[in-house]
Structure 1
Amino acid sequence: MQFLSPLILFTSCTLLATTVFADAQAPVQSECQIKSQEISSKIQNAKTEGDKTEQANLEKALAEVNANCTETSLIKQRKQKVLDAKQEVSRRQTDLNKAMEKGDPEKINKRKDKLADSRKELQEAQTELEKVQPDD
């Protein structure tokens, strides 16, 4: 019985270490590969449902992703999205300031809500950019 306990412990640790090491060695998929797989999955769903129009549109989208998607292009697109979101936040802040000058509580609340939505979109855009932008 004394021999079995260390043997079981050793075997358990070995299996755990192997699992952890295998996870650490798993290749990281690029955003482009993930996009391609998602579209392929949607194509399969469209085939299953018999939706020829959706299938054709998805196949076209997949061809475009395969032809044009690079990590560099993703970074460029996401940087542009962040820039657009920043401009929208700035515009919404200006609208809020004007509403505050006029003193209309209804418009002020409406502008505050829109500004909050724009800030949320900016945060989401920044998060998406961080996913693909290499650490400097």
Structure 2
Amino acid sequence: MKVLVASFLAVACSTAVHAADTTSPSPSPSPSPACAAKRASIESQITEAKAHNNRRQLSGLQSALAANKRRCTDASLAAERQRDITAATKKVNRREADLAAAQAKGDPKKIAKEQKQLDAAREALAEAQKPLPQ
């Protein structure tokens, strides 16, 4: 019985905390330039998803836009950018290792494939490293 009550209280408390998180204060009247740029990018992607009748993507983008309007800050964008840079750097490192392994085997098709993937990973890293709009 005690375990059941404790479980119920834990669920009730976590639900209350989650509900409190979703009722954050309304957005500021003028978002930062970085948040406005992110919002414009999401809105552009929404337009494209609607044009292609991609309902699944549209749903995700609408959620992203709502989250942007609710809680976008320069600090959150900077943290997201840093996570993207870290992930892209790891991918470049992995692709470089894959290319080195292909070169060691000497298979020209495999080398070309790995080089193409490395080039794409480097482009993604360069994109992630672009500074946020100020």
The answer to whether TM tops 0.5 is yes
- SS of 2:113 mapped into structure 1: helix
Q: Structure 2: how far apart are the matches of 1:77 and 1:35? A: 12
Question: Gaps spanning 5+ residues in structure 2: where?
Answer: 1-29
Question: Higher Cα Rg: structure 1 or 2?
Answer: 1
Q: Does 1:86 find its partner at 2:89?
A: yes
Match of 1:35 in 2: 38
Aligned residues: 98
Q: Structure 1: how far apart are the matches of 2:114 and 2:79? A: 30
**What's the CA shift for 1:86?**
0.5
**What's the CA shift for 1:30?**
1.3
Question: Gaps spanning 5+ residues in structure 1: where?
Answer: 1-26
- SS of 1:131 mapped into structure 2: coil
Q: Deviations over 1:70-104 (max 9, x none)?
A: 10000000111011010000000000111111111
Greater CA deviation, 58-67 or 86-95? 58-67
Q: Does 1:111 find its partner at 2:104?
A: no
Identity %: 35
Match for residue 95 of structure 1 among 79, 98, 105? 98
Q: Deviations over 1:12-34 (max 9, x none)?
A: xxxxxxxxxxxxxxx99512123
Report the CA distance shift for 1:121/1:36 in structure 2 as closer, same or farther (over 3 A). Answer: closer
Report the CA distance shift for 1:86/1:37 in structure 2 as closer, same or farther (over 3 A). Answer: closer
Q: Structure 2: how far apart are the matches of 1:39 and 1:91? A: 30
Report the CA distance shift for 1:86/1:67 in structure 2 as closer, same or farther (over 3 A). Answer: same
Q: Does 1:120 find its partner at 2:123?
A: yes
Q: Structure 1: how far apart are the matches of 2:72 and 2:125? A: 23
Q: Does 1:70 find its partner at 2:79?
A: no
| TM-score, scaled relative to structure 2 | 0.58
Q: Structure 1: how far apart are the matches of 2:132 and 2:110? A: 36
| TM-score, scaled relative to structure 1 | 0.58
User: What RMSD over aligned residues (CA atoms) do the two structures have, in Å?
Assistant: 3.3
**What's the CA shift for 1:40?**
6.1
Report the CA distance shift for 1:66/1:93 in structure 2 as closer, same or farther (over 3 A). Answer: same
Q: Structure 1: how far apart are the matches of 2:81 and 2:122? A: 16
**What's the CA shift for 1:62?**
3.1
Q: Deviations over 1:10-69 (max 9, x none)?
A: xxxxxxxxxxxxxxxxx99512123335656888x6xxx9x9x79x94654333112221
Q: Structure 2: how far apart are the matches of 1:100 and 1:41? A: 41
